[in-house]
A and B are shown apart, each in its own frame.
Chain A
Amino acid sequence: MIMADMVQILVLGLALGGVYALMGSGLSLVFGVMRIVNLAHPSLVMVGAYIAYWAFRLGGVDPMITLPVALVILAATGVLLYKLVFEREARSAKYSEMTVLLTFALAMVVEGALGTAFTNTQRVTSPDYATDAFFIGSVFIPKGQLYSGIVSLTIISALALFLKYSAFGNAIRATTQNRDAAELLGVNVNLVGLVSFAIGIGLAGAAGALVSFVFSFFPAKHWEWIAILMSLVVLGGMGSILGTVLAAFILSVIAAYVGFFFGATWSTLTFFVALFVVLLVRPQGLFGEKPELA
C-alpha cells in the first residue's frame, strides 16, 4: 500500500511536470537568446488557453487540435511584439532590466484586454479525457495530464532537434552562448532574436491549449504562474531548455511528495524555496553558465 502511494505521488508529480515543462521552455528560450525576462509569458499562455476554450465551446474542437493554431497565432503575435516593442532597444546595455518593466506592463495590458474581451470569469475546457484516468491496480494516471505531458515533450523534443541539427538552430545556439561572437561570425542576430522570440511566444500559445483543460483559468491567473515558471527556469539554468524541462519534473515531483507528507500548503512553497536556494547556492542552475564576476 505504501509503495503504491509512493508510485502514485511520483505519477502525479511527473504528470504536473509535463505541463510546467512546456510553459517554462518558451520562457527559457526567450531569455537564453534575447536576455528578455518575459514576465508576460504566463499572460500569453492565457491567450492560448482562451483560443482553445472558444474553439471548444463554439465548435467543440478538441484543444489538442487547436494547439497548432494557438501556437501559430501566438508566434505571429510574438513577431509583432518583437518588432514593435523589443527590437529597437536590443543593443542597450540595460536591455534585460528594461525588458522586465516592459514585459510587466505587457502582462497587465494582456490581462486587461482578456478581461475586457472575455470577462474575468473562470473558464476551462472539458474534453472527456480531462477528468478521466487510466487505472493500473490502485494507481491511476490522469489522462488529461498524461496526454498534455506527451504532447509537451513531443514539442520540446522537436524544438531540441531543430536547435541541434538545423543551420538556423545552430545560429540560435551560437547567439545564446555569445551574441557578439555570433554576430562577428556572420550570424544575423536580429533575425535570430526575432525567430526565437516568435518560437518562445508560440510555445506559450501551445502551452495555453494544454492548460485550458488541465487547470481552470481567468485573465488574472497568470500572476500565479510567473513565480512557479521563474523557479523552473532558474533551477534549470537561465536559457537552458533541457534544464527547464528537468527542473519542471524535479520540482513537480518534490512538490507532490511534500504535499503528501507535509500538507498542501507546503507543496506550493516548494517552488519558492527552490528559487531562493538555487539563487543562493548555485545561481547558474543545473545547466546555466556561471555568472561572470565584474
Chain B
Amino acid sequence: MKLGKLLASSAAAALIASAAVAEIKIGTSLPLTGAFSIAGAKHEQGYQLCVDMINERGGINGEQLELIMSDNRSDPATAIAQYERFINVDGVNAVFGTFSSRLTFPVANILAKNGLVHPVPAGGALRIYTQGHKNIFYFQPNAAEYVGSSLQGLISDLVDEADRPKTAAVVSADDFFANAVETGFLGLKVMDPATGGEVTDLAPGYLADAGIEVVYTEKWPEEGFNDWLNLANSIKRSGAELIIALSASAEEAVQLTRALKTVRAEPKMVYYSQGTQVEFYEGTQEASEAILMHTSWHPDAPYVGELAGEPFSNADFVAEFTERNGFAPDEDAAIPFAVCQGIEQAIRGAGEADNDKMGAWLAARTSSDPVRTILGAFNWDSVGLPIDKPFMVAQWNGGELQFVYPTNEFKTSPLNYPKKGW
C-alpha cells in the first residue's frame, strides 16, 4: 500500500514537474563574431535580459522561455543554416531576428517559407519588405531609405537658412544597409534584386530636397578596407560642408572619424549611420563632438511598454540592464529587447505560440491598440514597416549622446552647430 502511494505521488510529482518546465523555444542567430560582432554581442544581451526577466516573472501563460542562440560569424549562409536548424532540428516555437540588412534579407525568405513570424531588430533596407512576405515586422522607426528625411528635417528646422551646409560628401560602405540609406539621400532607384524590377524611385533625394549639392561620393568595400586616411583626405579636398558617412559597422565609423581628425577636415556638420555605441566614443573621444547620427532609442525617451503583462518603462529597462551587466545599455541592446517584448505580447495575444495566430495578432495592431515596447508603440503597414514612427537624431556632446531631433517628441538638447574642429 505504501509502495502504491509512493509510486502514485512520484508519478504526480513527475507530471507537475514536466508541466512546470514546459517551454517555449525561441531561436536566434546573431553575428557574435566577425564584422557585426559589436552590435551582435549587444543584441545577445538585449534578448537574454528580456527572456530572463519574463521567466523570472513566471514566463508566458505559465511556460518558461528557452532561448537558443547561435553565432553566425556575420555570414549570411551561416545565418540561413542556423535558422533552418532551429526550425527543423530544434523545433523552435518562435524566432528573434538577426542583426543587419545583409543577414536579414536572406533569412527573411527562410522564415517566410516556414511560416514563422519574423520580428526584425535591425534590417532597414526597403527591399527586405517588398518581397511580399506577410510574416515580417520591423522594430525600428522606418526603412533605411527614409533615414535621410530626419536629417533634412533637422537642417530645415534647427539651422538658420543662411548658415546651412550647401555641399555634401556622401561616403558609404558597399553594404546592404549603407546602400539603402545612401539611396534615399541621393535620390536613387530601389531595385528588387530578385526580379530586377524597380521597387521605388526616391528622386530627387533628401539632399536635393534640402538644396544641398553633392560634391563627392565614394564607396569602400565591405571588408578589408584600411586606407582611411586616403579616403578622409579626398573628403577634405572636396570641401564638403556636410559629411555623410554610412556603414553598418561602428568600427568603420571609428576609423573614419580618426582619419578625418588626422587630416583636419573642416565640415560644418557630420552625420553617421552608426556611432551610438559607447565603443564609438571610446575610439574617437573628443573627435566625436557634434557628430550626428540617427537612432531608434535613447535612454531618456519616456516610453512605457509591457513586460510579462505588466507596464515596463524605458527607464526600468535602463535600470535593470545596468544593474545586471554593470554598464549602461545602448541602442543595440534596447532594440532586441523591444523585439522580445513584441513576441511576448504576440504569444499572449494569440493565446499560444502559434505563428499563424501571432502573425495575425501583430498585423491587427493599430495606433490605438499597438504593441508597447521600450522603443514606444508599434503597429505596421501591409509590408511590415512601422506606421508614423520618425527616427530620432542624436549628437555626441561632451562625451554624452544627446537627443536633439525631432523636438516635438520629448525633451531635447540644443543642436551643436557648426562643428568646431575635432
Contacts and interface: CB of A to CB of B under 8 A. Distances in A.
A176 B37 CA distance: 40
- Interface residues of A, dominant DSSP: helix
Interface in A247-280: 255-256, 259-260, 263-265, 267-269
Nearest to B236: A140
Contact size range, B: 35 or more
Interface stretch (A61-69, A119-127, A187-195): A119-127
Interface in B345-382: none
Given A15-B229, A140-B263, A260-B230, A111 B219 contact: no
B223 to A, nearest CB: 6
Contacts of A130: 258
A173 to B, nearest CB: 32
A119 B41 contact: yes
Given A259-B227, A259-B231, A265 B221 contact: yes
A216 B32 CA distance: 17
B290 interface: no
18 contacts: A115-B32, A120-B40, A121-B38, A122-B38, A126-B283, A126-B285, A133-B263, A144-B262, A215-B226, A216-B283, A218-B37, A220-B35, A255-B227, A264-B219, A264-B231, A265-B219, A267-B225, A269-B221
A220 B37 contact: yes
B220 A115 contact: no
Contact of A218 (B38, B218, B219, B220): B38
Quick one: which of B35, B224, B285 has the most chain A CB within 10 A? B224
B254 A216 contact: yes
A224 interface: yes
Closest 10 CB pairs of A and B: A120-B37, A264-B220, A122-B251, A131-B261, A224-B224, A124-B283, A220-B33, A131-B258, A131-B262, A265-B221
A123 B284 CA distance: 11
Contact of A145 (B229, B237, B251, B282): B229
Contacts of B41: 119-121
B174 interface: yes
Interface in B1-52: 32-35, 37-38, 40-41
Given A119-B41, A122-B38, A265-B219, A111 B229 contact: no
B255 interface: yes
A155 interface: no
Interface in A203-229: 215-216, 218-220, 224, 227-228
A259 B174 CA distance: 15
B150 interface: no
Interface in A116-157: 119-124, 126, 130-133, 135, 140, 142, 144-145
A235 interface: no
Nearest to B255: A216
A15 B255 CA distance: 16
Contacts of A263: 218-219
B248 to A, nearest CB: 13
A133 B261 CA distance: 9
Contacts of A255: 227
A38 B218 CA distance: 35
B360 to A, nearest CB: 38
B87 interface: no
A256 B255 contact: no
Contacts of B230: 9, 12, 256, 259-260, 264, 267
A44 interface: no
B254 A224 contact: no
A133 B218 contact: no
B225 A220 contact: no
Contacts of A140: 233, 262-264
Nearest to B37: A120
A8 interface: yes
B33 A219 contact: yes
A16 interface: yes
B227 A111 contact: no
B307 to A, nearest CB: 26
A120 B229 CA distance: 25
A259 B218 CA distance: 10
B169 to A, nearest CB: 13
B262 to A, nearest CB: 5
Given A122-B283, A132-B262, A133-B262, 14 more contacts: A16-B229, A120-B32, A120-B41, A122-B38, A131-B287, A133-B263, A140-B263, A142-B262, A216-B254, A218-B251, A220-B37, A220-B73, A255-B227, A256-B230
A242 B73 CA distance: 36
Contacts of B264: 133, 135, 140
Interface in A221-245: 224, 227-228
Given A115-B33, A218-B251, A264-B220, A12 B279 contact: no
A150 B40 CA distance: 37
A255 B221 CA distance: 13
Nearest to B285: A126
B234 interface: yes
Contacts of B174: 265
A264 B262 contact: no
Contacts of A15: 229
A105 B254 CA distance: 30
Nearest to A217: B251
A257 to B, nearest CB: 9
A264 B227 contact: yes
Contacts of A144: 262
A264 B259 CA distance: 14
Given A120-B37, A122-B38, A122-B250, A16 B226 contact: yes
A275 to B, nearest CB: 13
B236 to A, nearest CB: 9
A142 B236 CA distance: 15
Nearest to A263: B218
A258 to B, nearest CB: 9
Contacts of B218: 263-264
A120 B279 contact: no
Contacts of B225: 264, 267-268
A265 to B, nearest CB: 5
Interface centre among A8, A15, A120, A215 (most CB of B within 10 A): A120
